[in-house]
């Protein structure tokens, strides 16, 4: 058996200036891909993780340096680290990094090839740029929240997947890696403006395309992919569980009807909207005749695109996810393994999250920070 191949970003150095949600998610993802990630934490932390911070898996695979960036010596340390890094990411409101002295111009003056990633909700400019917000605020403004929910009911919150992690952290990772590729060829870094509103709107590209062609109505629960179609919906079972149905293609739809014993439903009328209410009623009645486990058994060997709706704890034990190691227990903490996967490199979770500031002296010494500078901030209580 060949030895494991280092992950693709092995040797890439990343500085993550401590923030919330999408920024740490981006840093975790870069660490999962093999980058060396150093997180700059503020004294006292952000106080937003509801539990033991050493179980915050968004900080796995990273080392923590604690600095008070209100102190000039601490700012000098960040600039010295940035001078040796490939990527720096931060999640301040526009202008804050500049006021601290660690903005793009400050850092790229020391390191012209540095890729500087900026993670915000509203972006670096625009009328709302300086306003506070959270995931729900950003997806509300893009139309994404409006599109999710039952017909006639209120919008439904998709946790914070669409904004923070889909439109935010994921797009920050894509942006800094694209800029890193350019910097490797040109020696010039870029500033990456990753705004959640931009990413969430970009995720709606296919929906906009259907809206433009008249195949998507700008309301909830009446379209093919939002629960409006009876063949793409969630149904309750006799034991209070639920089955998710996604039988879009005609051949899959026929298998759905066959599995449910609905031979009298005309499969040729699948996309006739006038038939949807009656078909939905018949499918709902059928699903309520058996338990979730029984329906899972009926459909698990078919291509009807029917799956049981699992809780988070149930999903971790599902045979498919267990076989792939998709959800793992690492140092006593259940978490998703690294994604995506690369040939030759195991899809593992990174090293466990460490207490804030646990690696301060080790990292600064490794990165060649002068002992005199370290001592000066120690004496001033700027470092921990």
Chain segment 208-233, per-residue pLDDT in tens: 999 999 999 999 999 999 999 999 99
- What is the pLDDT at residue 51? 73
Q: For the chain, list the domains and their CATH numbers.
A: 13-203+354-379 (3.40.50.10540), 232-309 (3.30.1540.10)
384 pLDDT more than 60: no
Q: Sorting pLDDT into bands at 50, 70 and 90, what band is 349?
A: confident
- What is the pLDDT at residue 52? 79
Tokens 């890696």 label which residue?
A: 177
- What is the pLDDT at residue 191? 98
164 catalytic per annotation: yes
Q: What is the mean pLDDT of the chain?
A: 94
Let me know: does 162 contact 135? Beta carbons within 8 Å.
yes
Q: Which residue, 379, 326, 335, 374, is CA-closest to 81? A: 374
DSSP β-bridge partners for residue 150: none
**Annotated catalytic residue within 56, 68, 106, 134:** 134
**Does the pTM exceed 0.75?**
yes
Q: Give the rounded percent of residues in the chain with a pLDDT score beyond 70.
A: 97
CA–CA gap between residue 286 and residue 245 (Å, rounded): 13
Tokens representing 177? 């890696």
**Annotated catalytic residue within 32, 41, 135, 164:** 164
- What is the pLDDT at residue 73? 94
What is the three-class DSSP state of 194? strand
Please name the helix (run of DSSP H) or strand (run of DSSP E) that holds residue 15, with its range, or none: strand 13-17
Cβ atoms within 10 Å, residue 103: 20
- What is the pLDDT at residue 142? 98
Specify burial of residue 115 (Cβ count, 10 A radius: 0-12, 13-18, 19+): buried
Q: Sorting pLDDT into bands at 50, 70 and 90, what band is 382?
A: low
Please name the helix (run of DSSP H) or strand (run of DSSP E) that holds residue 242, with its range, or none: strand 242-246
Q: pLDDT tens, 82-141?
A: 999 999 999 999 999 999 999 999 999 999 999 999 999 999 999 999 999 999 999 999
381 pLDDT more than 60: no
């Amino acid at each position: 058996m060949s030895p494991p191949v280092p992950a693709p970003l092995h040797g890439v150095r990343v500085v993550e200036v401590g923030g919330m949600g999408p920024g740490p998610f981006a840093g975790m993802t870069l660490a999962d891909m093999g980058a060396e990630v150093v997180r700059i934490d503020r004294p006292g932390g952000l106080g937003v993780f509801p539990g033991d911070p050493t179980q915050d898996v968004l900080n796995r695979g990273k080392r923590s340096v604690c600095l008070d960036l209100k102190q000039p010596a601490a700012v000098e340390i960040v600039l010295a680290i940035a001078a040796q890094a490939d990527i720096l990411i931060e999640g301040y409101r526009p202008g804050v990094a500049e006021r601290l002295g660690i903005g793009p111009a400050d850092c790229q003056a020391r390191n012209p090839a540095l890729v500087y990633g900026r993670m915000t909700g509203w972006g670096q400019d625009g009328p709302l740029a300086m306003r506070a917000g959270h995931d729900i605020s950003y997806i509300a403004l893009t139309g994404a929240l409006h599109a999710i929910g039952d017909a006639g009911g209120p919008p439904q919150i998709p946790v914070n997947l669409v904004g923070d992690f889909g439109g935010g952290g994921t797009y920050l990772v894509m942006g800094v890696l694209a800029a890193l590729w350019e910097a490797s060829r040109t020696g010039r870094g870029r500033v990456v403006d990753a705004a959640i509103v931009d990413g969430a709107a970009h995720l709606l590209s296919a929906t906009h395309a259907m809206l433009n062609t008249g195949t998507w109505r700008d309301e909830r629960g009446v379209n093919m992919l939002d629960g409006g179609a009876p063949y793409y919906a969630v149904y309750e079972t006799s034991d209070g569980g639920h089955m998710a149905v996604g039988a879009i293609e005609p051949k899959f739809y026929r298998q759905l009807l066959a599995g449910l014993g609905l031979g009298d439903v005309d499969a040729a009328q699948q996309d006739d909207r006038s038939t949807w209410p009656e078909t939905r009623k018949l499918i709902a009645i059928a699903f309520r005749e058996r338990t979730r486990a029984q329906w899972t058994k009926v459909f698990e060997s078919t291509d009807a695109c029917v799956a049981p709706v699992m809780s988070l704890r149930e999903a971790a034990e599902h045979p498919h996810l267990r076989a792939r190691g998709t959800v793992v227990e690492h140092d006593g903490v259940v978490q998703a393994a690294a994604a995506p996967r690369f040939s030759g490199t195991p899809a593992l979770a990174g090293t466990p999250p460490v207490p804030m500031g646990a690696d301060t002296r080790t990292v600064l010494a490794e990165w060649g920070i002068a002992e005199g500078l370290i001592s000066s901030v120690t004496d001033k209580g700027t470092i921990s």
